[in-house]
Amino acid sequence: MFNKMCVVGLGYIGLPTAVMFANHGMKVHGVDINEKAISLIKNKQLHIEENGLPEKLETAIDSGNLSVATTPEEADVFIIAVPSPIRDDKSANLEYVRNATEAIVPYVKKGNLIILESTVPPLTVEKVMMPELEKTGLNIGEELYISHSPERVIPGKVFEELVNNDRIVGGINEKSSELTKDLYKLFVKGEIHLTDATTAEMVKVIENTYRDVNIAFANELAKISDSMGVNAWEAIKLANFHPRVNIHTPGPGVGGHCIAVDPWFLVELKPDLAQIIHLARNTNDGMPLYTAKKVQSLLEDKQIIHGRVAVLGLAFKGNIDDMRESPAIEVLQHLAELGLDYSVYDPHIKENNLERQTQNIHEATEHADIILILTDHDEFKKFDPSVIADDMRTKMVFDTKNCINRESWEKQGFEVRVLGDSKNS
């Protein structure tokens, strides 16, 4: 029934989605306002990092099924996969969704299906998208079909999860839901669950809020353990052997385009009711400062007042190049506020986006008094500390992700400290 698709937003979700449909026989026109990204994609190059994407993008373009531009085209299906960030006051910024919807209005025709994949606050389809789509003059629900099918994938495993994860589809009516289900069945092997649009919006926000609250609990356990002679990582691991317990792990904060953002949607909608959610958000948002102060304390214990910190990791999670909402950025800000010099290195961030960023790990560790690990990249897990041991002024490492091999670092003379572990300090 549907032969051509227009995907608006070619970022971490939109581009893999466009490529996936193109490689399953759909004619796909991808749209993004980022002219540099469009230029790169046309030349089979990437502005994002994702396992398997280079090869799949090349196949999609060579087949003739994928084209890209900065403006939409007429299609049978439109997928909107644009950012939905929060503002400085923690309110939802839905202008990207509104503008993307407005941009496709001139190209929409009778019988089209519009799908929102962006994670958004409940009622966004109803209050933001539908008023824009009514400008088409088409009868919503009878001549124009709309649904929300939120992405549920993790960076680094996008293609695997696009295929195998269950999918939530929420239409504005039953016809919209069924059409969307039929479309995704082109490649989705997981079960496709149908509901209404507002419930689908709520489901995705619930999923990420659950994880945020769980991580906040783990971070509180880490802070408590820091002063009790307990290793929180060991305690959590043992607690999780209970068949009904699944505690996440602590860290220097929560990042990414979902977990660090979505809970604020519920806080904004119902501030008087979302009290646990709000507290969890504040707990996780407070971890970068806690981390920076811990570094300062470790240095002061060595009588080092204005020490130099070698920061390893900028991405919000391991083995990706995504810095969106990364707690590392705030950690760096707090280090500077505390008067600590630093240099930062991340093997997955190929361009120097920050003033003190380097592409050379030796430049980061030279004359450093402490190494601060903020991201659990495989490169750091497997790193041979002898490579940089002679660079250091003081051999100390603070691992906020519990990801390095303590024995190998200690063998090179490093004093190893781990967030939430006062048992082994």
Half-sphere exposure of residue 308, counting CA atoms within 13 Å on the CB side? 15
For 21, phi then psi, to 5°, come to -65, -40
Secondary structure class of 184 (helix, strand, coil) = helix
Query: What's the rounded Cα separation, in Å, for the pair 290 and 116?
Result: 37
Give residue 121's identity as a one-letter amino acid code.
P
CB 200 within 8 A of CB 169: yes
Catalytic status, residue 204: yes
CB atoms within 10 A of CB 312: 28
Q: How far apart are CA 147 and CA 155, in angstroms?
A: 24
Given the residues 6, 27, 56, 258, select the one marked as catalytic. Answer: 258
Parallel, antiparallel or unpaired: strands 357-358 and 415-418: unpaired
Task: Please identify which of the residues 27, 56, 181, 204 carries the catalytic annotation.
Answer: 204
Spatial CA neighbour of 196 closest among 140, 152, 147: 147
b (16+ CB within 10 A) / e for 270-304: eeeebeebbebbebbbebbbbbbebbbebbeeeeb
- The beta-strand segments (E) located in 155-307 are 167-171, 192-196
* CA distances, 334 to each of 2, 148, 256 (Å): 51, 39, 19
Nearest to 251 by CA among 284, 278, 281, 275: 284
What 8-state DSSP symbol labels residue 12?
T
List, by residue number, the catalytic residues: 204, 258
